[in-house]
Chains A and B, each alone.
Chain A
Amino acid sequence: MTAVPRRRRLPVRDRWLAYGLLAPACVAVALLVAWPLWVIVQMSLRPGRALELTKLLSQPLGFANFDRVLAQPSTWAAFGHSLVYTGGTLVPAFALGLGAALLFHRTFPGRRWLRSLLLLPWAVPGVIVSIGFLWMFDASFGVVNSVLRRVGVLSTDVAWFVDADTAMLAVILPTVWKSFPFFAITMLAALQGVPASLYEAARVDGASPLQQFRHVTWPGIRGSAMLAVLLNALWTFREFDIVFASTGGGPAGATETLGILLYREAFGSFRFGTAAALGVLMVATALVVVLLGYRWLREETR
C-alpha cells in the first residue's frame, strides 16, 4: 500500500501572494455576479409596485410575488413557449451543426475559407439577425413569400411573424441560423481529436460509413456534443434579443418566452418584484438543468 503524499504547505508569504492574486477575481465575481443576484433575490421577496430600488427594498418581506408568478396563466404559457422555442431550436441547430462539422472535417478545396464563413452567423448580433429575417419573411414585400408564390408552394402571402400559427416557427428559424455554427465548431474540434487509426481499423473490419459514425465518430465526440447541447439549451432558454426584436413576444403572446414575460413585467407593468421572482425561478430552472446535465456528462465521460 502506498502512502498518500501529504500536500506541501506554502510559506506564509507565498500564501498571501496567492490570496492577493486571487483577490481581484473574487472581488469582480462578488460585484458582478453575487451582488446583483442577491439584489434580485431581495427584490423577489418584496411585494409591491414601488419602482425605485431603495423604496422597494424597504418593503416587508413576503412570497406574494412568487404566488402571483406561479398563479398567473401567462407564466405557464411562457414556460411552455420557452420549452418549444428551446427544443425547436436545439434539434435542427444540432443536426445542421453536426452535418456541417462532418462536411468540414473532410478535405476539399476552399475548406479554410468556408470554415471561416461558417462562423459568421454566430458572430452577428441577434437584433441584426432579426431585422434580416423580418425583411426576408415580410408578409407583403418579403422575398420568401415572393419565391414561394412563384414556385406554387403558396397561393396567398403568409404573415410569418404576425400569424399566431407561424410566429413561433418564424422566431425559431433565425435562432437556428445563429446557433448552428457553435455546434459545428465544437464538434469539428472534437472530430479532430478522434484518431485516424480508429477509422482505418474500422475500414479494415469492413465497417460501413454509418457504422463508422456510430461506433467511432459518435463515441469520440459525444462528450463535446452533449456539453454544446447543454450550453446552447441554457442560452436559448434565456434568449431575449431575437424574439424581442422580431415579434416582441407577440402576436397575442404566441412567442412570449420567460425572458420576454420578465421584461414585460418589469418595464411594461412596472412590477420589478414580480419580474425578479420570475428571474429567480428561471435561474433555479437553469441550475437544475445544469446539475442534471453535469451529472450526466460526468457519467458519459467516465
Chain B
Amino acid sequence: MKPWFRLITALAAALVLGSAPGGAAGQTVLDFPTWQAEEPGVSTWWKSLIAAYEKQYPDVRINLQQIPFNQFVKQMTVRFAAGTPPDIVHLPSRDFASFADQGWLEPLDERLKSTDIPAMWPPLQADMMWNGKTQGVLLMGYGGMLFYNEQRLKDAHVAVPKTPDEWLAAMKATTAADKGLFGLSTITAEHPNMVVEMASWVIGSGADWLKGGRYNFTDPAVVRAVDQWRQSVGYAPKGTNSATARQLFVDGKTAFLRDGPWVWGAVEKASAEMKPSLKITGLPFPVEPGGASNSLHIAAKSDARKKDAAWKFIVMAASPEWQHAYALTGSPAPRKNTLTPADFAAKPYLKVINDEAARAQNLFPTVPAVRAGYNDFATQVTKAGMRMISTQDSTPKVLADLQRDLERELPLK
C-alpha cells in the first residue's frame, strides 16, 4: 500500500471515529447545559445527582456543560432556533414562557400523573403552565435575602435594617468611597438581573409596575420605590455585574448584598478572617419579593428515548432524597416539608431562607404578553435603570418614557 493511501485511510478512519457520538456503544448521551455547573454549593448537588443517575441507569450518560448566566438564555435560544436543543433543559423560570410560546418544550401532564409532584409542589408550579399544558417542573421558588457584613455595621454604629429607609441610611453610613468601601453590592452595569434588583424595591414596597393588565410605571408608589432603588445604587460601586457584586461583598468591600439564597454557598467560601462577619437575613421590605427561580424541562424535539431518559432525571431530582440534599445547599427546594427541625438546628440560616421563601410574593410579571416577551421587557427596564444610574434625568421622566416605550414595543392588548 502506498504511504499516501495509508495516510488518507487513517485520516478517514479518524474522521469517522471522531464524528461518532461520545460514550460507549449503545449508550444514550443527554446534553445538559446549565449556568450552575460551577456555582458554589449547587454545582456539587448537580454533580452528585448526575453521578447517582448514571449509576442507576448505566446506559445513559449526562453531558453537563457550564454556560455563564448572562449568555445562557441567548445560547439556548440559538440552539433551539437551530433545531439542536439540549435534552435536559434547565431554564430561568422567567424565560420559560418565551420558550414555551415557541412550542419548544414538551408537555408533561401525562408524565406528571404518575408522580407526587402535583401534590407536593407549591402553587408557584402553576407558572410552568403555558397554553393549558404543564411544560416544566419548578426546581426552586425563593425569597430575596439580605446578606450583610456585621463588622462593617458595627464600625458604622448601625443596626440591621428593618425598613427601606433604615436600609438606605445604613448604606450611607457604611460608604467610604475614597477608601474603596461601599454600602451596597448591586448590579450597576447592563445585566439581565438589573430588573430583579429594581423589582425587589417595587414589589417589596407593596407596589406593582403591572396593575390591572396595564403598565403602571407612572404610579407614584412605583416612582417612589424606584427612586429608593436609585438612591441605593448611589452607595454601590459602578459598572458591577452580579458576579463582581457577590465577590465584592465576600471580600468585605461592601456592607450589604441583596441576592438569592443560593449565594450562601459563595459566602461560605469567604476567607477565614471575613467569614464570621458575613450574615444573612430577610429583606427589610414590608412585602418579601421572590418568585420562581429555575425549572427543568424536556425539549419537544428530542427523540422518545432521550425524552424518557431526561424525564427519569427530572423525577430523580424531584425525589425526597435529592430535594433534601438540594435544600441543604441553601436553595429552597419546592417539595413540601423537605427540611427537618434537626436540619434547622444544625444550620440556622436554612430556617431564615425557608421562612422568606414561604412568604415571598412573585416579583416577575404574570401577564402572558410580558411573560412571552420577557426579554423585551427586561431590555427596556434595564435600559431605563441604566439611564437612572448614568444620567441626571429625573426618575418620573425616565419611568414615563419607559412606560411609553413598553406600550409601543410590547403592547399588552
**B239 interface residue (CB < 8 Å to A):** yes
Contact with A along B180-212 (1 / 0, CB 8 A): 101000001110000000000000000000000
How would you classify the secondary structure of chain B's contact residues: helix, strand, loop or mixed?
helix
Pairwise interchain contact A252-B391, C-beta atoms closer than 8 A: yes
Note all chain B residues with C-beta closer than 8 A to A251: 190, 386-387, 389-390
Question: What residue in chain B is nearest A253 (Cβ atoms)?
Answer: B383
The reply to whether B80 and A51 contact each other, CB–CB distance below 8 Å, is yes
Question: Closest residue to A249 on the B side, CB-wise?
Answer: B190
| A159 and B238 in contact, given A252-B391, A267-B74 (Cβ under 8 angstroms) | yes
Most chain A CB atoms below 10 A, which of B78, B190, B237, B391: B190
A18 within 8 Å of B (CB atoms): no
Asked whether A164 and B78 contact (CB < 8 A) given A51-B102, A141-B180, A157-B177, the answer is no
A residues 142-199 near B (Cβ < 8 Å) are 157, 159, 161-164, 167
Instruction: Determine, out of A79-87, A132-140, A230-238, the stretch whose residues face the partner at the interface.
Output: A132-140
What total of chain B residues lie within 8 Å of the partner, measured CB to CB? 31
Report Cα–Cα, A247/B384, bound state, in Å.
15
B189 touches A250 (CB 8 A): yes
- 18 A-B pairs in the complex with CB atoms less than 8 angstroms apart: A51-B80, A51-B102, A52-B102, A53-B83, A141-B237, A159-B390, A161-B239, A162-B238, A163-B238, A163-B390, A167-B390, A247-B190, A250-B382, A251-B190, A251-B387, A269-B376, A269-B409, A270-B77
Nearest CB in chain A to that of B237: its residue? A140
User: Within 8 Å CB of B239, what residues of A?
Assistant: 134, 138-139, 159, 161-162
Within the assembled complex, what's the spacing in Å between the Cα atoms of A140 and B238? 7
Query: Do B189 and A269 touch (CB < 8 A)?
Result: no
- Shortest distance between the CB of A279 and any CB in chain B (Å): 16
- Asked if B395 is at the interface of the complex by the 8 Å CB criterion, the answer is no
Instruction: Choose from A138, A163, A164, A270 the contact partner of B98 (Cβ within 8 Å).
Output: A270
Interface string of A242-256 (1 = CB under 8 A from B): 000001111111100
Closest partner residue, chain B, to A134 (CB atom): B239
Q: A138-B237, A248-B189, A251-B190 known; 4 other A-B pairs, CB under 8 Å?
A: A51-B80, A53-B82, A161-B189, A253-B383
Q: Let me know if B81 is at the binding interface, CB within 8 A.
A: yes
Asked whether, in the complex, the Cβ of A254 is within 8 Å of the Cβ of B390, the reply is yes
| A268 with B390: CB separation less than 8 A | no
Is A272 among interface residues, defined by CB-CB distance under 8 A? yes
Contacts A52-B81, A252-B391; is A162 near B102 (CB within 8 Å)? no
* Distance of A47 from chain B, by nearest CB (Å): 16
Whether B182 contacts A250 by the Cβ 8 Å rule is: no
B177 touches A140 (CB 8 A): yes
Nearest-CB distance from A147 to chain B (Å)? 15
A139 to B390, CA, bound (A): 12
B250 to A: closest C-beta gap in Å: 15
- Which residues on the B side are within 8 Å of A140 (C-beta)? 177, 180, 182, 237-238
B379 partner residues in chain A, CB cutoff 8 A: 264, 268-269
